[in-house]
Amino acid sequence: MGAELHEECGVFGIYDAQGDCARSTYYGLYALQHRGQEDCGIATINDLDLSCHKGAGLVGDVFSESILAGLNGTTAIGHVRYGANGPKTGAAQPLTLTYIKGSLAVAHNGNLINSAELKLEYEHKGAVFHTSTDSEIIAYIIAQARLHSGSIEASVNQAMKRLKGAYSLVVMSSRKLLAARDPWGFRPLCIGRKGDAVVFASETCALDSVGATFVRDVEPGEVVWVYKGEMHSNRDNCAGEASLCIFEHIYFARPDSIIDGQSVYDSRILAGRLLARENRITGNVVIGVPDSGLVAAKGYSMETGIPYNDGFIKNRYIGRTFIQPVQASREEAVKIKLNPLRATVDGKSVIVVDDSIVRGTNTVQIVRRLREAGATEVHLLIASPPYVSPCYFGTDIPSKTELFACKYTTDEMRTIIGADTLAFLSLDGLRKIAPDSGCGFCEACFTEKYPIS
């Protein structure tokens, strides 16, 4: 089940001299809630006065009217988080600090692969780190660079030369709002405008939520900054082939977002159509596993003419299943979260479309529950190739020992799952799902070929 995947977070930033930046950031984070449900935060700057509120939980639980009213400023950044690569101390963001050049706040999406080396290097120089997050390392490197450079944007540009891995950043100094994306473009980051206001966000759906108009994506390697309402850019680090995480289109991003020119909804429809062209299965009804399997299931139905219908009713009041820290808890959460719709599947040969299989345990339950609801046949089709390799760029799959496809053949997986059919989208098919994209993709989780050694 796609919900076994664990992606790190979403970021939002806004400069608006006339508006309520904290409230706009609140709405932006609401739109990005799917990218992180563990904790969230908002930081603002008003006449050099830095304020920040953050805490564990959903955006609607962490912030109240009174808290938002106390976050005054013409600039704000915000963050929603899942914890990648295990628990971290002091992980809630934005990370804020005050140093000799003033105030600094950083919010980060991604995962550095050289964070341990960087941390050790600076500790040997006397640095004291108070959290175990990459964001503190990034903030420290930017602050250090600022001591020897003429501007905060030059400092961010210089810091990027030390950072290796995935990072989409929003950075707020005393007078400027900045956004930066790693040279490989692993994670999305876009720019919008609302009148004189400038907005940065992980996805375009967050721009929509605050009434901003999409301008363009931040280019891989680019630093963009806003000073007194004017937007500027530095492309010194723009080089090489971009490698956006392909799982943004398969699972992570909201379907109403557009990333690097490609509609996520259209890419999932096309994934379902390609899945059907590769795997023609006879059945009575096509259903999708909520939420990220639904659009691909519609694409499969469009291509084959087999009717699409709702197969599961989702309880919207619990989070994604991988939030549960113990596997037994995750399995119970699946039962609470997804309930088969007997009227759709009883007595039917059911074609089930999901976005991926990672560990496989939840998939077993889904097939079992469909049979208990009366399905005579269950044909499981996956709108991505087998997941065979861990990710080091912010998706929390720590080792191959946890990956279902690394332990069993497709036929063995089918037997364990209890499905009549199990088939995956081919790698060639996957490479066709984003024809309008302006960038390349990292597909290492399917190929073991990483953009960075």
Parse the chain into domains and list their residue ranges.
Answer: 2-240, 263-438
Q: Is 451 helix (H, G, I), strand (E, B) or coil?
A: coil
Segment 218-269, tens digit of pLDDT: 999 999 999 999 999 999 999 878 899 999 999 999 999 999 999 999 999 9
pLDDT at 325: 43
Name the CATH superfamily, with its identifier, for domain 2-240: Aminohydrolase, N-terminal nucleophile (Ntn) domain (3.60.20.10)
**Residue written as tokens 């039917």?**
348
**What is the pLDDT, as a whole number, of residue 211?**
97
pLDDT of residue 400: 85
Q: What integer pLDDT is reported at residue 320 of this predicted model?
A: 47
Q: Are strands 338-340 and 49-56 parallel, antiparallel or unpaired?
A: unpaired
SS (H, E, C) 26-42: HHHHHHCHHHCCCEEEE
Q: In the chain, which residues have pLDDT < 50?
A: 1-4, 6, 86, 320-327
What's the CATH number for 263-438? 3.40.50.2020
Candidates 9, 21, 442, 445; catalytic one? 9
pLDDT at site 5? 55
The pTM of this model reads 0.92
What local confidence, expressed as pLDDT, does residue 319 receive? Answer: 54
- The predicted-structure confidence for 351-371, as pLDDT tens digits, reads as follows 999 999 988 888 999 999 999
**Cβ neighbours of residue 89 closer than 8 Å, sequence gap 6 or more:** 131, 132
Active site residue 9: yes
Going from the C-alpha of 98 to that of each of 14, 52, 246, 406, 434, the distances in angstroms are 20, 12, 37, 47, 43
- The DSSP 8-state label assigned to residue 212 in this structure reads P
Residues 6+ apart with CB under 8 A from 236: 157, 221, 223
Residue 179 to residue 264: CA distance in whole angstroms:
22
Q: What is the pLDDT of residue 2?
A: 38
Number of neighbouring beta carbons within 10 Å of residue 86: 8
Q: What is the pLDDT of residue 39?
A: 94
Per DSSP (E only), the strands in 122-259 are: 165-173, 176-181, 190-194, 197-201, 213-217, 223-227, 230-234, 244-245, 258-259
- Among 412, 445, 446, smallest CA distance to 427 is for 446
The helix-helix angle for 410-417 and 361-372 (nearest 10°) equals 50
Residue 94 CB partners (closer than 8 Å, separation 6+): 41, 42, 43, 52, 54, 77, 78, 79, 105, 106, 107, 135, 170, 172
What pLDDT is attached to residue 88? 54
DSSP one-letter code for 395: B
Beta strands in 160-206 (DSSP E): 165-173, 176-181, 190-194, 197-201
| Nearest alpha carbon to residue 90 among 147, 138, 48, 129 | 129
How far is the C-alpha of 181 from the C-alpha of 276, rounded, in Å? 36
| Residue-level pLDDT at 394 | 78
Q: What is the pLDDT of residue 379?
A: 98
For helices 134-146 and 152-160, angle between their N-to-C axes, nearest 10 degrees: 130
Strand partners, 226: 177, 231
Structure token pair of residue 98: 């005050």
> Residue 1 has what pLDDT?
34
- The full 3-state SS of 99-130, as one line of letters, equals ECCEEEEEEEEEEECCHHHHHHHHHHCCCCCC
Query: With the CA atoms of 249, 27, 153 and 239 taken in that order, what torsion angle do they form, in degrees rounded to the nearest 10?
Result: 10
Q: Which amino acid is at 188?
A: P
Q: Are strands 223-227 and 244-245 parallel, antiparallel or unpaired?
A: unpaired
